[in-house]
Amino acid sequence: MITDKELDFVRKALDMAARAGAQHARATLSLSEEDLVATLDGEVDRVTHCADRSLSLALFVDGRFGSYSTNKLDAASLEGFIARAVAATRMVAPDPLRVLPDPARCCHDALTGNELGLVDPAREKVSPADRQNIALSASVLASLHGSQPLQTSGCAGPLPLLAQTGPSLLRSRLEEKMSPCRGLQGLENKPACWLRSGGAAADSAAPTEAKYQIISEEGEYSDSIYETVVMDTNGVCCRHSETSFDYGVEITIESEGEKYSGYWWDASSRLAELDAPACGRQALARAVGQIGSAPVAGGRYTAVIDAEMASKVVSPILRALSGYAIQQNNSFLMDSLGRQVFPEGLSILDVPRIPGQTCSKYFDSEGVATVEAPVVEAGVVKQYFINSYMAGKLQMAPTVEDATRPKVLPWPCAGLDRDAILRRCGSGILVTDFNGGNSNPVTGDFSYGIEGYWFEDGKIVRPVSGMLMTGNFLTLWSRLLAAGDDARPCQTKLVPTLAFAEVDFSG
Amino acid sequence: MNPCDRFGVSEEQLRALVAEGLRAGGDWCDLYFEDTSYHDLLLRDGVVGSGGYHVDYGCGIRVLKGEKTGYAYAESTDYQSLRSAAIAAGSIAATVAPFRGGQPRQTSGCAGPFPQTTSAGPSLLRSRGWLRSAEAAAVSTPPVAAYYNELLPWEDAEVAGFIPFLKRIEAGIRARDSRVLKVVAILSYSVSDILMYNSLGELTTDHRPLGSISVQVIFQQGKRTENNTVSRSLRMGAEFVSDAVLEDLVSRTVEGMDARFEARRPKGGQMPVVMGAGASGILLHEAMGHAFEADFNRKGQSIFSDRMGQRICRPGINILDDATVPASRGACNYDDEGVPGQKTYMVTDGVLTSYLHDRISAGFYGVAPTGNGRRESFRYNPIPRMRTTYMESGPDGTREDLIASVKRGIYVDQFANGQVKIGEGDFTFFVKSGFLIEGGRLTMPVKDINIIGNGPQALADIQAVAGDLRIDEGTWTCGKEQSVAVSCGIPSVLIGNLTVGGE
């Protein structure tokens, strides 16, 4: 992977850019390798081997800017590529605000790439047979009933504990790859639902007496290593390396002529911490929990959003605090810096540098050092995400370009999990999965399809589907009832179970 | 120029790689070479101040054992890298793989020896420097098609010439609406050269241009702000950058903004929905198209798995997935398995008549592949995907007739995204704009609402189909495991009952 040879290659690329006419440049070399075994109904269905490499260049030429990438990395191809890139950059308008970040703000302590301890040497020893064994042993069908469709009834069994593992910097890509989501999007709005990654387990109190048949089980195990190095002509050089072990499974069942599906996944930078077998049980429990689901009468109810899906209502806040959104007036949080626009119960802290926790990283894509910093503190917006370019545009001090590992802090007390929040809330709708929807970045209006459970007296009563949750993010957050302490550490954003009062549901 | 030359491989090496892939016992091997360049230019704050281009090059090798897939790729096309990928992909044959389906079928148009370089044939192909051999063409049905042309090759175009075009878009928008606060316009274009070869000896090449422009505008009226985003995407060359496209984008950007500022959330609930012609084709993509993709049916996951040959909607309704719509974002001369582009009727006169097949599912079902084996790039194995999905025009008059027939409901015409749960059949789509229908007339504008329904129920509940089919030309991308360019279309239709989000 990244050795002195690759580092030398990146330096040469910067030299080529300089010789071609770039006054400044940033080069990012990324290498990755991934092996994957997919199963269908307890049999190996697909094996893949991937090895990727790419060089990205940000060029600053005569006051102009362009960004380029290629995976043709032989010397002759690269030289031609860079010459063409410099020429292309000269065609756009000058923009004096395009600059490399101040070296004083950049990361200088990511020298080996493994400072965070995110590389598991065990990956080198994983054989193709090991991968198949992991994938097959995680299969509910293979482990319990061979590979034949299963006729069964009742509960899928005790709910597994959520694996206490960490995710990787590849998480978003892998979540997307493993997602069962089938969707269509226009370019206009990136639907937040695009990376659907399943939901919380069906509650053991949910009705599970119906007979059902497992129609299919699709599982996918993968292990990968990702390495990157960022260098610029100001002397910045920082590296990041991370392994990732992932398993996701979707189970489809049929009961009384209706089909239901459940999905679950786990991930860790360490193989020993991956709990693949638990995923199948969890996915089955989620599918079984939805048997007989139907809409309840539309109305204004308390909404409890399970930790697995709760980032859906946090991500729009982070996007709205992006310097690009602010500069373009494309944000429902314009002029919010330093103001209390959320209730005191909302605090979001970026914790990018926790060793051993995947998704931690020492630097952003500009090479700027990440720091632990409040994003929202007791309802007050404390930070916009402003890269070097936007700093000039907005005439503001630069920060980092995005939150690396945002964490929603517990409120009103520590230690609340989903069940405790359900008890506090009494009755309402527990949202365990979103089905499509989107939000307006300018107004903060949103509308999402949901499924989950109706709960009363803190206990789940019946499954719910085919409903919509509609509102405005500022209004929604002003009605925050509780933020739990149960975020899944394998997720990119550490968002716990959340509860809100008086949310509009239609069905 | 021999098509292999672009990738630095010989015909003998292609045969050797296939043999290597099959050495461990595989039934099928195919190679997918890709050389793609992607360019973009960005206008923001009144200047075209950044641009870029990106190169993606490599070869994916797939080996099948029954329905099982082995897949690997190389980003270098030197023989040793390719051979390593072939061996990795071939390892699937070493896994436990009971044979359940049939052999992948020879396609209806690609069999034959390697094409020879020739100066004969249509000018389009001559301009590429090669042509399928007469022998191969003789068994080709349909013949080599060109559903997209590149009259002005992007590679020959002067990038500098696009800069004033983007500026004219901004100027046109600002001239038509004084409320414009910010304009962002992005022109992007890509050109992919593809070479496919498989263990039947079929060799196929394709040259795929794609141009896209998206425009996002922020409007301010008093203290309120609103946004609007429009896009246009077509498989063609630099002739795409035209006054006609500019005028279309400018018009649609400012169109309906008065209503957008007045729009409110409706009272949510179940109600009739009239879907306007064009982009409402998202209904077909989400509610039906995915459920008709044969991989989901082969695995028993789709809600339509056991309904082939059954009536699923009223007589007279025809729903297609079509690779042959000229210049459409979903057009395919060949799919990514080398199967010729074609038109596939999924629903004929209200009856489910075909799934969308790749070679694996076609072998499983014992039918010919339908040309739906598509992939995002050489990094991905092909799977059944849609192309341009639409419903043919119907006999029920005009859009206005459909609206007039609704006592209380909603009319929708602009969308952002959608999603479906395959097993349950529950689909959603996000509506950017529309109107309430009250007493057969459009009244209050609405926006930013999600609509949810169930595929089979919605199909069965299509009560009227107008005669105004329109294929949308927006920048639609389908995200089933991989991102693939598609398109959709529909005439105005009335659905009796869907659930509309609201307050």
pLDDT of A208-259, one tens digit each? 567 899 999 999 999 999 999 999 999 999 999 999 999 999 999 999 999 9
The whole domain housing B476 covers: 269-501
Averaged pLDDT, A275-298 = 95
Q: How many domains are there within chain B? A: 2
Q: Give yes or no: residues B220 and B297 share one domain.
A: no
Beta strand A43-61 with B68-74 is parallel
Distance CA A408, CA A484 (A): 9
Distance CA B484, CA B475 (A): 11
Distance CA A390, CA A321 (A): 12
Domain assignment present for B138: no
**pLDDT in the model for residue B142:** 43
**pLDDT in the model for residue B160:** 86
Q: Tell me the residue type at A394.
A: L
> Do residues B36 and B56 make contact, with C-beta atoms less than 8 angstroms apart?
yes
- Which residues of A176-298 form beta strands (DSSP E)? 182-185, 211-232, 237-255, 258-268
Domain assignment present for B65: no
Considering B244, B262, B280, which residue would you say is the last residue of a domain? B262
Averaged pLDDT, A44-56 = 95
Considering B223, B239, B262, which residue would you say is the last residue of a domain? B262
Distance CA B315, CA B318 (A): 9
pLDDT above 70 coverage of chain B, percent: 90
Q: Give yes or no: residues B307 and B174 share one domain.
A: no
Q: Does A182 score more than 50 pLDDT?
A: no
Distance CA B130, CA B205 (A): 10
- Does A435 contact B212 at a Cβ distance shorter than 8 Å? no
**pLDDT in the model for residue B2:** 85
Q: Does A54 score more than 50 pLDDT?
A: yes
Domain assignment present for B340: yes
Two structure tokens written together for B370? 């339908």
Q: Give yes or no: residues B184 and B303 share one domain.
A: no
Distance CA A199, CA A306 (A): 7
Distance CA A343, CA A474 (A): 9
Please tell me whether residue B26 adopts helix, strand or coil conformation.
coil
Helical segments of B395-464, H only:
399-404, 455-460
- Does B448 contact A50 at a Cβ distance shorter than 8 Å? no
Cα dihedral value B480, B485, B491, B494, nearest 10: 20
- Does A89 contact B51 at a Cβ distance shorter than 8 Å? yes
Beta strand B68-74 with B28-44 is unpaired
**pLDDT in the model for residue A180:** 38
Average pLDDT, chain A: 88
Q: Tell me the residue type at A264.
A: W
Q: DSSP secondary-structure letter at B265?
A: P
**pLDDT in the model for residue B75:** 96
Rg (CA), chain A: 24
Averaged pLDDT, B126-145 = 32
Domain assignment present for B109: no
Q: Give yes or no: residues B251 and B377 share one domain.
A: no
Q: Does B165 score more than 80 pLDDT?
A: yes
Q: Please, which residues have CB within 8 angstroms of residue B28's CB and are 6 or more apart in sequence?
A: B22, B62, B63, B64, B103, B104, B198, B199, B359
Residue B91 phi, psi dihedral angles, 5° rounding: -65, -15
Residue in A177, A259, A443 closest to B303 by CB: A259
CA distances to A213, A235, A434, B368, B420 from A257, in Å: 10, 64, 23, 30, 19
Q: Please, which residues have CB within 8 angstroms of residue A1's CB and are 6 or more apart in sequence?
A: A31, A33, A225, A227, A241
pLDDT band at A145; cut points 50, 70, 90: low
The ipTM is 0.87
pLDDT above 70 coverage of chain A, percent: 87
Q: Give yes or no: residues B348 and B445 share one domain.
A: yes
Domain assignment present for B309: yes
List of chain B residues whose C-beta atoms are within 8 Å of the C-beta of residue A505: 268
> Do residues A359 and A169 make contact, with C-beta atoms less than 8 angstroms apart?
yes
For residue A35, the surrounding DSSP H or E stretch is: strand A24-40
* A-chain residue closest to B160, CA distance: A91
- Cβ neighbours around A19 below 10 Å, total: 12
pLDDT band at B111; cut points 50, 70, 90: very low
Q: What is the rounded end-to-end Cα distance, in angstroms, of chain A?
A: 53
- Does A93 contact B163 at a Cβ distance shorter than 8 Å? yes
Q: Give yes or no: residues B245 and B300 share one domain.
A: no
pLDDT band at B130; cut points 50, 70, 90: very low
pLDDT above 90 coverage of chain A, percent: 84
Distance CA A156, CA B260 (A): 48
**pLDDT in the model for residue A144:** 63
Averaged pLDDT, B443-456 = 93
Q: Does B289 score more than 90 pLDDT?
A: yes
Averaged pLDDT, A349-374 = 96
For the domain that residue B217 is a member of, what is the CATH number?
3.30.160.100
User: Nearest-CA distance from A77 to chain B in Å?
Assistant: 11
- Does A328 contact B184 at a Cβ distance shorter than 8 Å? yes
Q: Give yes or no: residues B239 and B321 share one domain.
A: no
Per-residue DSSP letters for B219-253?
Answer: EEETTEEEEEEEEEEES--GGGSSHHHHHHHHHHH
Phi-psi region of B37 (alpha: psi -120 to 50; beta: other; left: phi over 0): beta
pLDDT above 90 coverage of chain B, percent: 82
Averaged pLDDT, B236-253 = 97
Distance CA B473, CA B246 (A): 14
Helical segments of A314-428, H only:
315-320, 323-327, 388-394, 418-425
Averaged pLDDT, A99-103 = 97
Q: Give yes or no: residues B246 and B392 share one domain.
A: no
Q: Does A491 score more than 60 pLDDT?
A: yes
Helical segments of A36-195, H only:
75-89, 128-137, 140-145, 171-178
Two structure tokens written together for B442? 């459009």
Give B345-367 pLDDT, tens digit per residue.
999 999 999 999 999 999 999 99
For residue A189, the surrounding DSSP H or E stretch is: none
CA distances to A136, A156, A248, A265 from A144, in Å: 11, 11, 18, 19
Helical segments of B415-460, H only:
455-460
Domain assignment present for B448: yes
- Does B71 contact A46 at a Cβ distance shorter than 8 Å? yes
Q: Give yes or no: residues B428 and B461 share one domain.
A: yes
Residue of B54, B182, B290, B417 to mutate when probing chain A, most A C-beta within 10 A:
B417
Among positive and negative, which fits the CA dihedral A84, A90, A92, A96?
A: positive
Between residues A147 and A184, the one the model is more confident about: A184
Q: Does A146 score more than 90 pLDDT?
A: no
Give B408-441 pLDDT, tens digit per residue.
999 999 888 888 988 889 999 999 999 999 999 9
Average pLDDT, chain B: 89
Tell me which residue of A420, A350, A414 sits closest to A382, measured CA to CA: A350
Residue in B54, B480, B501 closest to A506 by CB: B501
Say how far residue B49 (Cα) sits from the centre of its chain: 30
Q: Give yes or no: residues B313 and B396 share one domain.
A: yes
Distance CA A269, CA A267 (A): 7
Q: Give yes or no: residues B318 and B447 share one domain.
A: yes
Domain assignment present for B63: no
Distance CA A135, CA A120 (A): 19
Phi-psi region of A424 (alpha: psi -120 to 50; beta: other; left: phi over 0): alpha
Residue in A49, A188, A471 closest to B416 by CB: A188
List of chain B residues whose C-beta atoms are within 8 Å of the C-beta of residue A298: 268-269
- Does B416 contact A186 at a Cβ distance shorter than 8 Å? yes
Q: Please, which residues have CB within 8 angstroms of residue A310's CB and are 6 or more apart in sequence?
A: A408, A495, A496, A497, A498
Q: Does B405 score more than 70 pLDDT?
A: yes
Q: Does A183 score more than 90 pLDDT?
A: no
Averaged pLDDT, B100-125 = 34
Whether residue B142 has a cis bond before it, omega within 30° of 0: yes
User: Nearest-CA distance from A413 to chain B in Å?
Assistant: 31
List of chain A residues whose C-beta atoms are within 8 Å of the C-beta of residue B92: 44, 46-47
Q: Please, which residues have CB within 8 angstroms of residue B178's CB and are 6 or more apart in sequence?
A: none
Q: Give yes or no: residues B276 and B237 share one domain.
A: no
Tell me which residue of B427, B450, B429, B465 sits closest to B347, measured CA to CA: B465
> Do residues B51 and B159 make contact, with C-beta atoms less than 8 angstroms apart?
yes
Distance CA A448, CA A470 (A): 6
> Do residues A160 and A282 make contact, with C-beta atoms less than 8 angstroms apart?
yes
User: Nearest-CA distance from A343 to chain B in Å?
Assistant: 22
> Do residues B8 and B77 make contact, with C-beta atoms less than 8 angstroms apart?
yes
If you search the block for the tokens 């015909």, which residue do you land on? B11
Helical segments of A240-320, H only:
276-289, 315-320
Domain assignment present for B327: yes
> Do residues B346 and B304 make contact, with C-beta atoms less than 8 angstroms apart?
no
Residue A460 phi, psi dihedral angles, 5° rounding: -70, 135
Q: DSSP secondary-structure letter at A199?
A: -
User: Nearest-CA distance from A320 to chain B in Å?
Assistant: 14
Within 13 Å of residue B500, how many CA atoms lie on the same side as its CB? Answer: 31
Give B90-108 pLDDT, tens digit per residue.
999 887 444 344 444 444 4
pTM: 0.89
> Do residues A463 and A209 make contact, with C-beta atoms less than 8 angstroms apart?
no
Q: Does A101 score more than 90 pLDDT?
A: yes
> Do residues A194 and B484 make contact, with C-beta atoms less than 8 angstroms apart?
no
* A-chain residue closest to B188, CA distance: A187
If you search the block for the tokens 């997935």, which residue do you land on? B321
- Which residues of B66-198 form beta strands (DSSP E)? 68-74, 180-198
**pLDDT in the model for residue A507:** 85
Say how far residue B77 (Cα) sits from the centre of its chain: 28
Distance CA A351, CA B164 (A): 44
